[in-house]
Chain A
């Protein structure tokens, strides 16, 4: 199975359809360990390829027990985005279920049963909003029919509210539980004629609903990756190759084995070069009775490495050569008009280079996974964003059938793209199979920072031209960074179409001459995707450049953005883009690129932040606008410098059009958190490599924004919309860094061309 990148969730020739079905009780009990009589429904959410329908694949189950409890299977991974709450809310609301009588059960990883479970790319709500509504509506119709038949009344005279069907005329009512057994005997309603509620009658959708795991999280009961315990379980801490692709020449484990509690030392064969996205690095595992003994045992290992070709890698030198490469002509990926003409006739040329570093995900929960191998079957408990890929990768590494591997998904202590990659899960599985003992692999913080799948560092150069009337006449954007694809295939030297689709190729502004070029670079460490992926560096360069262009033209940057988005249009970039425009895996018919919606968020944020108002001495505002993951976002950040020179961020305003908002509280919380994640990217974090090794070891080297450095107030202004819902996990991140950089310029007169910049 190929990895599903966040920006290519399905092939363009595939369509999604969903149907509701009645599964057998045995099947349901098998998958959910739930028993008891009542109504059972499944949702089949299928990918239909060219001319053929894939096999029957129920994704989501819901059941109503006779004791009036609604159970909904959550098949997506929970990592802080609130999806274990948001998707069931949709089902419950359509049903008319009492939210207090809904329980959520987490699904194991199984593509045949649940379809796509890759929780990445901000698409859970986008993908499952309609199927969830249909599932809820189906259940409601069946419950109402059961009640109407019992009472001998018209179905249309009954309503379902608070887990009861009510007949208002007679005052009769029955709970869902009392109706469940009879509803189970009825035919499924015709899906085409299924009546869905209108959004105005929703009680949960569009409201602030507390997350279902809240109480467990504040009492320490929530179960994360390292919290599962099995009898006889051992802990493994692994010394991995310090340089990607290095191999172990020899090792001495005597001192490690002498440490009380250490039981075994087991080598893990790595994938070498290229490292791949789903394979473990070469390493030596110390297996002990407790975590501390394993940590100490690892410290006592003596290993001689053959460091291999990446041992001379220096990220600073690569940055220099990437910057230099942008001075030459590259591979043209988008062309409109003739940029060279614009340049030769320009009244002014702005030529600027931008740099951004490698970033680590640094989830506060480092990777951890527990595996138990018994009688030819592997059972895993892991905080994974992509349980199916974990399952397939384990099967491949352990030479087993996927059917013999079960992956249970715990809560994730942060994901941000790191925990889609299953390398740590495979480590646990290999060790469990090798030793016959249940093994929990525990990564330390140092392991996490040294061996991440990093967000690629990048160099960009933007050349902008103004004509005689000071209009923006030309835009030439060069971008170069090691591609994610290069982690598996070293031949991939240019950013992929998918990566360019993340906020670079779809430059939306009305400029007569556009030329977007890429250059070659190579990967010498593992490159992966991090919350909003290439949008991070693309939005930084584009939005910072636009601010500088506005200044050169003597116009306001907000006014300029509105001016350059020109008339309302649906952009398709037709005839301009070489290769595919991904549109985050959706067609432009279903999810058009609408300048009107972008202008709308720009106007809204300017109004809410009172852009242009007189600010106190030592304060300044910066603006940025960037659409990503099909969500339209505009951002204004205010910064302030006190007498001591300390800079703080008093306010951040976001205006957001993400279509229908399901759980508005979780939308806001994603933007609040995204602003702080963006502050780390802008201000504090960077990974560098020297002699092939990562130079940051813990949070004293890889800095994250702490409470005092974070924005004090984050206002999230949601556009009231009835459009299809789109993602909110990633879109807050890209515009934050350039908004801060632009504010910093206004405050200090100094332009920022390199991330991270320390505002302190």
Chain B
């Protein structure tokens, strides 16, 4: 066990955790930030996506010791009042069905828009291909990203 200092949603946090504990479990079990979801543990499904700086990462395979100085943003820190353009677009298009994968989808889309503010349909498909949705909300996700980008 070691003390790790992390910056999560703009706030410095200290956690006691094994070096190899994935950031996902640090967030969920130690910091009580449960909007980030476990889906596969192997960066296959994207449910655990958070931002590291401006980049989308799979928090299930990123260990706490690899985070370093970089700031972590989770769904809880994406916007003050749940009013990020993507969150608003997700609501306008009624994207979620069960909702479980959606926080990861939104975080992944947020990184896409920071990198590519006006993505083409092909850009969206390529960027979002790592995020699984078993309910099958992909087309509304695509529409929501397109409308948030406008």
Contacts and interface: CB of A to CB of B under 8 A. Distances in A.
A218 B102 contact: yes
A86 to B, nearest CB: 13
A444 B142 CA distance: 29
A698 B44 contact: yes
A583 B27 CA distance: 48
Interface of B: 1, 17-18, 20-22, 25, 28-30, 32-42, 44-45, 47, 74-76, 82, 87, 90-91, 94-103, 106, 124-126, 128-142
B129 to A, nearest CB: 5
B25 A710 contact: no
Contact of B101 (A79, A364, A676, A705): A364
B129 A366 contact: no
Nearest to B102: A217
B100 A224 contact: yes
B45 A699 contact: yes
A216 B87 CA distance: 11
20 contacts: A79-B98, A80-B99, A214-B94, A214-B96, A218-B106, A219-B87, A224-B100, A261-B18, A364-B101, A364-B132, A442-B38, A445-B40, A669-B140, A676-B138, A677-B134, A677-B136, A698-B41, A699-B40, A706-B138, A707-B124
A413 interface: yes
B98 A698 contact: no
A700 B44 CA distance: 7
Given A362-B134, A414-B134, 19 more contacts: A80-B97, A218-B82, A218-B102, A290-B21, A290-B29, A364-B37, A364-B98, A364-B101, A365-B37, A416-B134, A444-B41, A445-B40, A672-B139, A676-B136, A706-B132, A707-B138, A707-B142, A708-B129, A712-B139
A261 B25 CA distance: 13
A415 B126 CA distance: 27
A600 interface: no
Contacts of A700: 42, 44
A132 B70 CA distance: 52
A213 B142 CA distance: 20
Nearest to B36: A220
A713 B121 CA distance: 12
Nearest to A675: B136
B76 A219 contact: yes
Main secondary structure of the interface of B (DSSP, over half): loop
B121 to A, nearest CB: 8
B135 A414 contact: yes
A669 B34 contact: no
A366 B42 contact: no
Q: Which of B21, B35, B42, B138 has the most CB of A within 10 A?
A: B138
A218 B103 CA distance: 6
A291 interface: yes
Q: Which of B96, B100, B106, B142 has the most CB of A within 10 A?
A: B100
A56 B47 CA distance: 44
A79 to B, nearest CB: 5
Contacts of A337: none
A213 B44 contact: no
Given A218-B102, A218-B106, A673 B29 contact: no
Nearest to B130: A706
A413 B98 contact: yes
Q: Across the A-B interface, give the 4 residue pairs with the lowest CB-CB distance, nearest first.
A: A220-B35, A676-B136, A413-B100, A80-B98
Contact of B42 (A216, A223, A699): A699
Q: Which of A362, A705, A706 has the most CB of B within 10 A?
A: A706
A220 B136 contact: no
A205 interface: no
A182 interface: no
A411 interface: yes
Interface residues of A, number: 69
Contacts of B34: 220, 223, 226-227
B22 A292 contact: yes
A714 interface: yes
B138 A210 contact: no
A211 interface: yes
Contact of B25 (A221, A291, A364, A665): A291
A81 interface: yes
B91 A218 contact: yes
A218 B134 contact: no
A340 interface: no
Contact of A364 (B18, B124, B134, B139): B134
A680 B32 CA distance: 34
Contacts of B25: 290-292
Interface in A52-88: 78-82
Given A291-B25, A291-B28, A699-B42, A81 B97 contact: yes
B82 A215 contact: yes
A221 to B, nearest CB: 7
B91 A215 contact: yes
A285 interface: no
A418 to B, nearest CB: 10
Interface in A441-494: 442, 444-446
B96 A217 contact: yes
Given A219-B35, A220-B35, A290-B29, A673 B99 contact: no
B103 A220 contact: yes
B137 A673 contact: yes
Interface in A221-259: 221-224, 226-227, 229, 235
B44 A699 contact: yes
B139 A219 contact: no
Contacts of B35: 219-221
Contacts of A221: 35
Interface string A652-669: 000000000000010001
A229 B138 contact: no
Contacts of A669: 94, 97, 137, 140
Given A79-B98, A714-B139, A290 B30 contact: yes
A708 B125 contact: yes
A295 B126 CA distance: 32
Contacts of B101: 364, 413
A572 B129 CA distance: 46
Contact of A214 (B33, B91, B134): B91
A412 B17 CA distance: 29
Nearest to A295: B41
B130 to A, nearest CB: 8
Interface in A135-188: none
A385 to B, nearest CB: 12
A675 B137 CA distance: 10
A115 B126 CA distance: 47
Contacts of A215: 82, 91
Nearest to B107: A220
Contacts of B99: 80, 213, 216-217, 222, 224, 411, 413
Contact of A210 (B33, B42, B91): B91
